Chains A and B, each alone.
Chain A
Amino acid sequence: MISYGRLLGELATIALVLLAGVYATVVIDLWAGRMVARAPVRAFRALTFPIRQTALFLLQQRATTERPDAPLWALAPALLAAIAAASLLVIPFSSQTSAAGIESGIVYFGALMALVMIAVYLNGWSANSVFPIIGGYRFIAEALSYEMPLALVLIGAALPAQSLSVSAIVISQDSLWNVIRQPLGLPIYLIAGLGVAFWGPLALPDAADLAGGTESELSGVQLLLWRTARIAVLVAVAAMGAAVFLGGWTGPWLPGAVWMTLKTIALIFIMVGAGHLVARVRLERFVLVAWTVLIPLALLDVFAAGAVVLAGSPR
């Protein structure tokens, strides 16, 4: 086991990376929204927007419901943030950082993405109110649907590396990035990733047609923590996508960490842009598409990747 000091240092680094990512995502979201609406964006106001939003949330009055499940309600954003932080533990940001001793980083990531379902359901259930509960149930249907394509596509990306460790997958992309070798991989991953962070077209649990869904009874600090945790999950999903599909820290002139940051921000751009350009889909339609279209496509991706590996290996 690693020492306490190093563990604390790693956790502090991850917390800083996540906070920086959340800040950047909020600014990008604001900027993308203004661009799509053809509205002017002033640089200073856009860059300080997260600070003003945070101050607004901190000053908001806390409201609570009748007989909520207080411990589980407080657990929900904490669990979501913990999932985001824990998933960054296995993503290598440069060639020097090694994995935290987990050999199967992909399965670890899949398990964490399954736990997101629990966090959102708890957030919906604990409020003891109608709209959050409906939001929570919708997310269960959505989560069960995106889980399989997500897992299959990550396995497809692990095949050329012949290892489930994320570092090995990054190293295996030295010659060619997975986004080019496996064209079906990144789109399916991004769709599932939007579902994990329930963002944009798949923002079903916190939807406006549910009066805010699981967020509707949150206010003040709790709402700030919930939204921050959700954006942190988005950042973690983008970081994993950058590592597994866009080649991670490999790249010509710049140092590894800079490449990783650029690729993560690129994926955040795409996902946030999808949030502003694509309307929210209906749950029934998404479930149908996920089970009948995305899973066969993901299986096709796995088979194609396997065929390529078998054809290339000297047998």
Chain B
Amino acid sequence: MRVALFWMLAVASIVSGWRVFRTDSMVRAAYWLMASFVAVGIIMVQLDAEFLGLVLILMMAGEMTIMAVFMVMFMMNPAGLNPMMMVHQHRASIVAGVLAFVGLAGVGIFARFPEPTLRASGQVTAQLGHELLGDSMLIFETAGVALLATMIGALAIAGATGRFGSADEGSQEPGEA
């Protein structure tokens, strides 16, 4: 039962990841990506990384909605009323994607990884908590400071008014004088 569920989720995540780039409606593209992330999150819960899987779903719910909002802002065709496929260097990117897949899958199948010594025992979440705030506090703090810097940086970059006036001044199409 667990294995059947895993296979369904794995296939669902790959298919919905593929559909992201094949669908015409942009909101649907964002939510196909969300479906891929939800499937991966549930797989992570099955792999005993329960906290991480649920946090992934929580994060991605907000992020994919923001992506849908940005899609609607920037694409001329957000609702998929006209079929479109805006790609460049299509063949090269297919080749690159296939090469990446073959390379990484080859490493995954043929490399010798250490064999599992013990299954995750007892309270995985509690152990993760002790680890995050104990031995790996530096990683935790760095991530926190990086996120803070990101917030400040994003606001500084995208702010509507800056030190030298409104951000819209001087906005022109490329190629115009």
Contact = CB atoms under 8 A, between A and B. Distances in A.
- Tell whether A pairs with B: yes
Interface of A: 1, 67, 69, 72, 102-104, 107-108, 110-111, 114-115, 117-118, 121-122, 125, 128, 137, 140, 144, 147, 163-164
A111 B50 contact: no
Interface string B1-22: 1100000000000000000000
A67 B34 CA distance: 23
B123 interface: yes
B27 A164 contact: no
B61 A118 contact: yes
A110 B124 CA distance: 19
B68 A121 contact: yes
B31 A72 contact: yes
A140 B65 contact: yes
Nearest to A2: B1
B55 interface: yes
A294 to B, nearest CB: 17
B92 interface: no
Contacts of B79: 67, 69, 128
B69 A140 contact: yes
Contact of B55 (A103, A107, A128): A107
User: Which 7 A-B pairs rank lowest in CB-CB distance, beginning with the nearest?
Assistant: A114-B61, A111-B58, A107-B54, A111-B57, A111-B54, A114-B58, A1-B1
A103 B25 contact: no
Nearest to A164: B125
Nearest to A140: B65
Contacts of A144: 62
Given A108-B54, A128-B79, A122 B25 contact: no
Contact of B28 (A72, A104, A108): A72
Contact of B64 (A67, A104, A118, A128): A118
A122 B79 CA distance: 12
B31 A122 contact: yes
Contacts of A69: 25, 27-28, 79-80
A1 B2 contact: yes
Contacts of B25: 69
Point out which of A67, A110, A114, A140 has the most chain B C-beta atoms below 10 A from its C-beta: A114
A103 B58 CA distance: 16
Contact of B51 (A107, A125, A128, A147): A107
B160 to A, nearest CB: 15
A31 to B, nearest CB: 35
Contacts of A107: 51, 54-55, 58
29 contacts: A1-B1, A67-B81, A69-B28, A69-B79, A72-B27, A72-B28, A72-B31, A103-B124, A104-B51, A104-B54, A107-B51, A107-B58, A108-B54, A110-B54, A110-B58, A111-B54, A111-B55, A111-B57, A111-B58, A114-B58, A115-B61, A117-B61, A117-B62, A117-B65, A118-B31, A118-B34, A118-B64, A128-B79, A137-B69
Nearest to B51: A104
Nearest to B38: A115
A102 B65 contact: no
A83 to B, nearest CB: 11
Contacts of B45: 102
A128 B31 CA distance: 17
A107 B125 CA distance: 11
Nearest to A102: B50
A266 to B, nearest CB: 28
